Amino acid sequence: MFKKPHIWGFLLRKSMQNSFLIIVILLIFQIGISSSSWEGSRDETVSLLKEYIDINTSNPPGDVRKAVWWIGKLLDKHSIDYQTFTVEEDPMRMHLLAEIKGYNNNLKPLLLLNHMDVVPADKQAWSVDPFKASVVDSVIYGRGSLDMKGMGIMQLMTLIQLKKEGWKPERTVKVLCVADEEVLGEYGAKWMIENHWDLLDPEWVWDEGGIGSKDSFPGVEVFAVAVAQKKSLWVDVIVKSISGHGSRPFDGHSNQVLANALSKIVSWKTPIDINVATNEMFKRVGFKIKGLNGFILRNINNPLLKYFFGSKVAKSSVSVNAMLRNTVSLTIMDSGYKVNVIPEIAKASLDIRLLPSQDSEEFINQLKVVINDSRVQIVPKRVPEQGYISSWESTFFSILSEEINHLYRQSVVTPFMSPGGTDSQYFQSKGVDCYGIIPVLVHEADIQTIHGINERISIQNLMNGYRIVYNTVKRVCGSNK
Ligand SMILES: [Zn+2]
């Protein structure tokens, strides 16, 4: 539907000879935007993203009110229906739900999800002002450009464009802009689900979680769509003993016991476990890689190959390692208060990320076996929801894949399990199939700017992403009645 202009010219000439073709072409024109229209909406799309980035929604403190007002004004201008929601306990937290209503009430909506808050940015470390968007060499710089105000704009522009066309879909499409994702807060998507499920209840959710990468796998462009995510289990490791003077140490004091336990924890190699989503990703990527490496990836779940090559594959990157096993990161050590005092309590915190099928309690028991010291207590601080893997055999996934491949013909589109968490987890715990991808193709170096410095999105990526969102929504929600 987005052929270059000369193709249109060719088709038009042919159509002179054939009235049937004229009708077909008219239909095609009706259901898609021509290339020149994309060019025409480029300036509008870019300036909207710049305005959006300029609204500082850093979390903490996570005040998104200005963003909600700004989006509301934009939707008003285009007569698109929406509602806003204020969290009473914390009125800085607001959400916005917009929609284009479908005529078939038997179909549940497609929900496009984005978060308005961003992580804070250290202005000194950036080469530009993170909260004053700037364009350098056709690349837009600013906090949230990738995560995820850029995708918010792709979704909003899609609604605006479809509204302009007078589109009447069969299936309702909704855009939900939420607060508080960056702290996985109580008052974000979770609050909307708990308080307004009747307004959401989607068939599918399209969220962030994956991205298109040029160089995460050597020689293959991969669009990884998150269908599952690791679960966060946060625990404290606590040891209590008697205190004492630093000049007279004794065996079994709190810091000594804790240090021994932590030493065992950080050197623990958890077993490799390749779940269905990761296996599917390796299979799809493996088909694009020649030679032995491709063969190993394709067949990594073969017990023999897993035994001999599993650890080697895990070592290829920290991200791959995180996909293949439960991981434990020692993130906080907090023991003692004076250099000459042996403290009575020693404490550390672990950020544990579990594979979707791993039971939390069972994992804590395994951890206790590794520590093998009854003086060490494990206290859970945050226990995750049950894991869920979305189906990649859905209509949504196949249309999304086709639309990505329409623009990026050489790329592999694959389901994958994200090592990090997103708001999808709350929808997945309600049994909804969620798909996480920001539809842009970038380098690893660009991915590092998410939550890092000099976050950016190229205008080309912004426009291509918008096209993918637009085309996918139009086909998934269907019809032109
Ligand atoms: Zn995000």
For the stretch 249-290, pLDDT in tens is 999 999 999 999 999 999 999 999 999 999 999 999 999 998
> pLDDT tens digit string along 234-248?
999 999 999 999 999
**pLDDT tens readout for residues 63-101:** 999 999 999 999 999 999 999 999 999 999 999 999 999
* Per-residue tokens: 247: 């000049």
Q: Is the pLDDT of residue 410 over 50?
A: yes
Ligand 1 midpoint to CA 438 (Å): 10
- pLDDT tens per residue across span 118-139: 999 999 999 999 999 999 999 9
Q: What is the mean pLDDT of residues 323-332?
A: 95
- How far is 257 from 85, CA to CA, in rounded Å? 50
Cβ-contact 99, 82 below 8 angstroms = yes
350-353's contacts with Cβ under 8 Å and 24+ in sequence apart are 350/234, 350/235, 350/236, 350/237, 350/265, 351/232, 351/234, 352/232, 352/233, 352/234, 352/235, 352/326, 352/327, 352/328, 353/230, 353/231, 353/232, 353/233, 353/322, 353/326, 353/327, 353/329, 353/419
Q: How far is the CA of 180 from the centre of ligand 1 (A)?
A: 10
Residue 53 CA to ligand 1 centre (angstroms): 14
Q: Which of 23-37, 374-388, 419-433 has the lowest mean pLDDT?
A: 23-37
Distance CA 420, CA 354 (A): 10
Work out whether strand 173-178 and strand 204-217 pair parallel, antiparallel, or are unpaired.
Answer: unpaired
Structural contact between residues 36 and 64, judged by C-beta atoms closer than 8 angstroms: no
pLDDT, mean of residues 161-186: 94
At residue 480, the pLDDT reads: 58
Q: Is 174 helix (H, G, I), strand (E, B) or coil?
A: strand
Kindly give the distance from the C-alpha atom of residue 115 to the centroid of ligand 1, in angstroms, as a whole number.
7
* Confidence at residue 38, expressed as pLDDT on a 0 to 100 scale: 80
SS3 of the chain: helix, strand, coil, percent, to 5: 40, 25, 35
Q: Tell me how far the alpha carbon of residue 446 lies from the centroid of ligand 1, in angstroms.
A: 14
Q: Kindly tell me if the per-residue pLDDT of 352 is higher than 90.
A: yes
- Has residue 10 got a pLDDT over 60? no
Q: And the tokens for 398? A: 């196949």
> Residue 154 — left, alpha, or beta (φ > 0 → left; ψ -120 to 50 → alpha)?
alpha
Ligand 1 centroid vs 388 CA: distance in angstroms? 20
25 Cα: distance to centroid of ligand 1 (angstroms): 40
Kindly tell me if the per-residue pLDDT of 116 is higher than 70. Answer: yes
Q: 293: helix, coil or strand?
A: helix
> Which regions of 267-388 does DSSP assign to beta strands (E)?
327-333, 341-342, 345-354, 376-382
pLDDT tens digits, one per residue of 217-235: 888 999 999 999 999 999 9
| CB half-sphere exposure, 8, CA atoms < 13 A | 14
Gap from CA of 13 to ligand 1 centroid (Å): 47
- Determine the distance separating the centroid of ligand 1 and the alpha carbon of 293, expressed in angstroms: 32
Higher pLDDT among residues 15 and 334, named by residue? 334
pLDDT at 218: 80
pLDDT tens digits, one per residue of 180-190: 999 877 899 99
Contact 416, 285 (CB under 8 A): no
- Under 8 Å between Cβ of 414 and 280: yes
Give the pLDDT score at 135: 97
What's the rounded Cα separation, in Å, for the pair 356 and 233?
A: 12
Give the residue-averaged pLDDT of 113-119.
Answer: 97
What pLDDT score does 118 carry? Answer: 97
pLDDT of residue 217: 83
Structure tokens at 384: 């995750």
What pLDDT does residue 3 have? 33
Write down the pLDDT at residue 42: 96
Residue 168 is predicted with a pLDDT of: 94
Residue 27: predicted pLDDT: 45
Q: How far is the CA of 109 from the centre of ligand 1 (A)?
A: 22
Q: How many CB atoms lie within 10 A of CB 245?
A: 10
Q: Choose between 186 and 8: higher pLDDT.
A: 186
Q: Give the global pTM.
A: 0.85
Residue 6 has pLDDT above 60, yes or no: no
- pLDDT value for 25: 43
Residue 60, preceding peptide bond in cis (omega within 30° of 0): yes
Distance CA 288, CA 433 (A): 27
pLDDT at 7 over 80: no
451 CA to middle of ligand 1, Å? 9
**Residue 184: its pLDDT value, please?**
78
**Higher-scoring residue by pLDDT: 319, 371:** 371
Domains along the chain with CATH numbers = 1-31 (no CATH), 35-214+388-477 (3.40.630.10), 229-382 (3.30.70.360)
Flag whether pLDDT at 446 surpasses 50: yes
CA of 307 to the centre of ligand 1 (A): 35
The answer to whether residue 22 scores a pLDDT higher than 50 is: no
Phi, psi (5° rounding) for residue 351?
-100, 105
- Cβ 71 vs Cβ 134: under 8 Å: no
User: What's the CA-to-centroid distance between 366 and ligand 1, angstroms?
Assistant: 32
Please state, rounded to an integer, the average pLDDT across all residues of the chain: 91
Q: Ligand 1 centroid to 182 CA: how many Å?
A: 7
Q: Helix axis angle, 395-407 relative to 459-477, nearest 10°?
A: 140
32, pLDDT greater than 70 = no
Q: What is the pLDDT of residues 43-62, one digit of tens each?
A: 999 999 999 999 999 999 99
- How many angstroms separate the alpha carbon of residue 117 from the centre of ligand 1? 8
Helices (H) and strands (E) in the chain, counts: 16, 17
pLDDT band at 428 (very low <50, low <70, confident <90, very high): very high
Residue 204: per-residue pLDDT: 98
